[in-house]
Structure 1
Amino acid sequence: MRDIDEPSGAEQAPDESASPRRSGISRRALVFGGVAVGGLAALGGGALVYRQIRRSAPPEGTWVKLSPIVPVPDASPRAPSPALEEPGEDTTVAVWAHADDDIIFANPHLAGIIGSGATLRTVFVTAGDAGRGLGYAQQREAGIRAAYDEMRGSTQPWNTSQLTLRSGARVTRFVPADDPRLSITVLRLPDGNLSGKGFPTTGEAGLTQLINGTVPALAPIDDGPTLDARRLSETIAELIHAGRPDRITTNIPHESAFARGDHPDHSCVGSLVRAVAPVVGIAPEAVTYYIGYPSQHEPINVEGEALDEKVDVYATYAAQDPVVTCDSAAACLAQPGFGQWLRRSYGKAEGELRLT
């Protein structure tokens, strides 16, 4: 993501490879521009502050101390949830902070799951709204559906439903009309901002404040029922259990050394999943945690055709997000932060987290 004013070449991040493999993008990654963003001070999802986007160096999230996650009562066997999904083959439940964390940090693994015919149940905990409201969050959700369409090779419509969970949370679920092995479920909690302090329009509160107890509850931006810390933990546990997973993927948790400099929302979600997975019968070795912003410090490990495909998927998403402006593979890879992240993907097992 970058400022609405196109940065000069001197402001762009240095190219990390001799040249991008492809200068074009997928058929759905259309050129768009001239989007008015008003006085917006910060962005969600990738959630980069505008001033930082214009710098040549990638942004880093603020490190905020996080309290231990409120434990979830052991409820085995758990009662069936209204969110219960049909059993699938080799099922992954993926739980992310923002709609784009998966395509930026977990690809090409994500595309491999979809391309293999395995089952993927995705959950996005925050709206990634950047304080801009529900309309912007829905544009980002449309972008993720388009990105999944790119990976699965279909443009058939997605069915939408609202579900009230046993935890009391209300979620929105999207399922492709022609491919029920995939689903996307969104909680739409407010974006916590790169600073971890939230946005004025959503009460300057996010996951960090909820977990730390400085706010009693969070209100989803779509006016769903408020969630306190325990109810949020129950909701995450319920959605994971409802997906009937063989494995889980998520953001790197706060207690990992790899979380230093990551977006605070990423750390919160990773820690939530790590805390509740055992309650729903998922062994620690079945969970993979993907490094977020700090992956920029790791060696490049996505190149060639895999990089081309990853950038196409990202650009397809970007065509629906009015804050992101990259109309070619070269432009996407030149974005400070995103160019570095797209060239990398690092999943860590429990034993590799470097717990602190």
Structure 2
Amino acid sequence: MSLASRTRLAAVLTVLTVGAVGVTTWAYGDGTISEPAAPGAAPRPSVTEGTVLQVVAHPDDDLFFMNPDLSRSIATGIKVTTVFLTAGESDGHNEAHGPHLQDPVVPANHAAYAEARQNGIRAAYAQMSTGDRTSAWQRRSIPTVGGGSAEVDVLVARPEVNLVWMQLREARSISGDNPDSLRGLWDGRVPALGVQVSSGTPVKPGFSYKKDQVVEAIAGIFAMYRPTTIRTQDPTPGRTRIGGNFLDHQDHLYGARFVQAAAERYAKSTDRPHFSIQNYMSYPTTALPPALDPKTAAEKLGYLKTYAWTDHQNWCGSPAGCGDRKTATRPTGAGWNRTIRYSRGDVSSWMTEGASGRLWAFAVLDGRMAYWSRIGRNTPWTGPQFLAGTGMDTGATAVRLPDGRVGVFGTRTTLGATPKEYRRDLVYSVQAAPDGDFGPWLSLGTPEKDDVTGTSAISGPAVAQDRTGRITVYVRDSRRTLRASTQAAPDGAFGAWASLGGAGLQGDPVTATDASGRRHVYAATAQSVFAWIQHAPDAPLGPPVPTKLPATTGPLAACAEGEAVALYFRRPGTGTFATSTATTDGPVPKFSPLDELGGQGGYGSVGIAGDLFAGRAGSGTIGISETDRGPSWYESQMYYTGAPAALNPEDGTAVGAVLGLDAGLHVTTPPSGAAGQRGSRPPSAPWYPAVPPPEGAPGSP
């Protein structure tokens, strides 16, 4: 996007009204059905629909690592449930950190500490839902697979908000070798894992789970709540070094692997809606710049203080305590109240134009690659349709080949029959002919071959083509360096993974090619951004160049602007956007002074196409930025998952797309002439379901 274009970002979203959601007094009922639209009426604009379910290892992982997504989902009135896999009993002492605060006379009470954490979580959810931390809950025990039980809590004032407590024993150590843990159960070192029920729970003690029973129990909870969006932690956070400690808590990553297995099992059922999965980073966010603006960070901290029981007033009447005092001395965590980061699916390159102006959009639903397509500007979208094969990870990169065929790239997880067979590889599928069927998934393997249990800590792929149509795939490996694999010839086999250097890379790399055919590749670090650039078309990619750009919040976007490439990113601590343009007059690229686009801020990726600038606004909804009267976000009332995509087709009408929390594709097209006169409000550009839901479904006319 040129500088002139950046001053004409003119698409606008109207503020919409969230529809009501029907609930029952126990668990979830069906949503209300929208009133029928008048014959011939335009489709109803998108609002937040769907059912969201979080699965975390410990009480507080949701508050630290999934907020503000969690609180904002609750605020919409949709159905929201959080599942806690372990009791979080730790050492059994509900005391603030610090040796001077520990009372050696008080014996450990794991059941009581688990109850205190439950009390804190219930208070935080009540505050998020009603503004009153003392709002009442209905609690009961339900049976699970394998003779076990789980506690289910329903918020009486907001019965669409549920909590599920499986109360498995936690590892009681971040990385220590304790076989009696989720890690030991996954690796087969123990035949079963027992539970640590909390004091005060309606669940009776004395049961345990085998590995397959844990998987079945989680899958059974999925079947009970029928989520359209599943949020979980990162199953492959990587290691400090080959053979070193994991970068995250062992319960976080092994809990996420159990969720992967449960989602794969649940996906085999037929009586369910489509669902997407969003993975969240946990401890590794400690070393990364803050992603949230001060107002959002303060709101998040308020819920954490409620959970941490910082006022120490016994308002709940429980002898165990009303919250988690271990976090009271530092409810911010390690700066976690100031950030939120996704570990998969945070790139905006999942939509492309194929032959004859046909648009293609890709997203992973039910562990399979789904796609939607639209033949022309005035024709409806169709989909989702599915490529063959399962095990696909969140995220996709779509490309158009020189002959008009479309290819889609992603990563795939194989759970394996044994723990050592767990792995992730890069895969791609290409149409046999323009607008034709997609071929089978072909594997590029993985650059990780030496680190068996830590392998697969790789990014999603960035994909580029040279002027002959040869494809190169770029990926960040678990050592935080850049790797590349290139076809020997167009449509040919890919070569070995080459090492391109760099250090401390974060997130997914991005790539763009300028008008002269010079390729740019960028990857963020915790402090700045590295660039790899061809100094001439078809020349070898240059070595990693420190750009000296400031730190970013992670996701990058790169767009060709004539003979240059513009790099877009969010500023830490505000979430506002900035850009710098790279030119290549010689072997060393030159970067323009930072252009601050400003705006209200937000977090996550942005999709850019011509004058269309779509991303998550400060409130968390999908919005479009319009800057000719001062940068701002014009917002919808729709929350989404993953990253927005934007495309400027050959007909010149930009299209934005997101995957809603309902697992449906939603699109917007700014009306022509939206810029208008300076100081005038441009016409609205609401988001609509690309494919309206079937008649009788929630949100359908």
Q: Which residue of 1 aligns with 2:340?
A: 345
Q: Which residue of 2 aligns with 1:17?
A: none
Contact 1:131 1:191 in 2 (8 A): no
1:145 maps to amino acid:
R
2:80 counterpart of 1:120: yes
Q: Does the residue aligned with 1:215 lie in a helix, a strand or coil?
A: coil
Within 5 Å, give how 1:1-356 maps onto structure 2: 85-88=28-31, 90-132=50-92, 133-152=110-129, 153-154=131-132, 155-192=134-171, 193-198=173-178, 205-222=180-197, 223-254=205-236, 260-281=246-267, 286-319=276-309, 320-326=323-329, 332-333=331-332, 338-347=333-342, 348-349=344-345, 350-351=394-395, 354=458
Contact 2:228 2:274 in 1 (8 A): no
How big is the shift at 1:265? 0.3
CA distance in 2, matches of 1:93, 1:228: 23
CA distance in 1, matches of 2:158, 2:177: 38
How big is the shift at 1:302? 1.3
1:307 maps to amino acid:
A
CA distance in 2, matches of 1:225, 1:86: 30
CA distance in 2, matches of 1:296, 1:141: 25
Q: Structure 1 stretch 146-155 or stretch 282-291: which is displaced more?
A: 282-291
2:304 maps to amino acid:
Y
Change (3 A) 1:237 1:256: farther
Change (3 A) 1:256 1:236: farther
Q: Does the residue aligned with 1:175 lie in a helix, a strand or coil?
A: strand
What do the CA deviations read for 1:13-39 (whole angstroms, capped 9, x no partner)? Answer: xxxxxxxxxxxxxxxxxxxxxxxxxxx
Q: What count of residue pairs does the alignment treat as equivalent?
A: 261
How big is the shift at 1:354? 2.5
TM-score normalised per structure 2: 0.35
Contact 1:85 1:244 in 2 (8 A): no
CA distance in 2, matches of 1:84, 1:210: 30
How big is the shift at 1:278? 2.9
Q: Does the residue aligned with 2:222 lie in a helix, a strand or coil?
A: helix
2:77 maps to amino acid:
G
How big is the shift at 1:343? 1.3
Gaps of at least 5 residues in structure 1 are: 1-82, 199-203
Q: Does the residue aligned with 1:269 lie in a helix, a strand or coil?
A: helix
CA distance in 1, matches of 2:275, 2:28: 23
CA distance in 2, matches of 1:257, 1:130: 23
Contact 1:207 1:268 in 2 (8 A): yes
Please say which structure displays the higher CA radius of gyration.
Answer: 2
Q: Does the residue aligned with 1:299 lie in a helix, a strand or coil?
A: coil
2:288 maps to amino acid:
E
CA distance in 2, matches of 1:99, 1:272: 17
How big is the shift at 1:283? 9.5
TM-score normalised per structure 1: 0.68
Change (3 A) 1:167 1:255: farther
Contact 1:301 1:345 in 2 (8 A): yes
Change (3 A) 1:260 1:219: closer
CA distance in 1, matches of 2:234, 2:308: 23
Contact 2:238 2:247 in 1 (8 A): no
What do the CA deviations read for 1:97-141 (whole angstroms, capped 9, x no partner)? Answer: 000000000111111101111111110000110142111001001
Contact 1:197 1:206 in 2 (8 A): no
What do the CA deviations read for 1:229-287 (whole angstroms, capped 9, x no partner)? Answer: 01011111111121110110011113768994100000011111122213223899710
Q: Does the residue aligned with 2:83 lie in a helix, a strand or coil?
A: strand
CA distance in 1, matches of 2:64, 2:328: 15
Q: Percent identity?
A: 29
Contact 1:318 1:325 in 2 (8 A): yes
Q: Does the residue aligned with 2:395 lie in a helix, a strand or coil?
A: helix
CA distance in 2, matches of 1:256, 1:285: 26
Change (3 A) 1:219 1:234: same
CA distance in 1, matches of 2:251, 2:116: 20
Change (3 A) 1:174 1:318: same
CA distance in 1, matches of 2:62, 2:331: 16
CA distance in 1, matches of 2:139, 2:225: 17
How big is the shift at 1:324? 2.3
Gaps of at least 5 residues in structure 2 are: 1-25, 32-48, 93-109, 198-204, 310-322, 346-393, 397-456, 460-477, 479-701
Contact 1:206 1:218 in 2 (8 A): yes
What do the CA deviations read for 1:195-218 (whole angstroms, capped 9, x no partner)? Answer: 2434xxxxx611011111111101
Higher relative contact order (Cα pairs below 8 Å, separated by 6+ residues): 1
Contact 1:277 1:283 in 2 (8 A): no
| Bigger proportion of residues as strand | 2
Q: Which residue of 1 aligns with 2:530?
A: none
2:335 maps to amino acid:
Q
1:263 maps to amino acid:
H
Contact 1:93 1:245 in 2 (8 A): yes
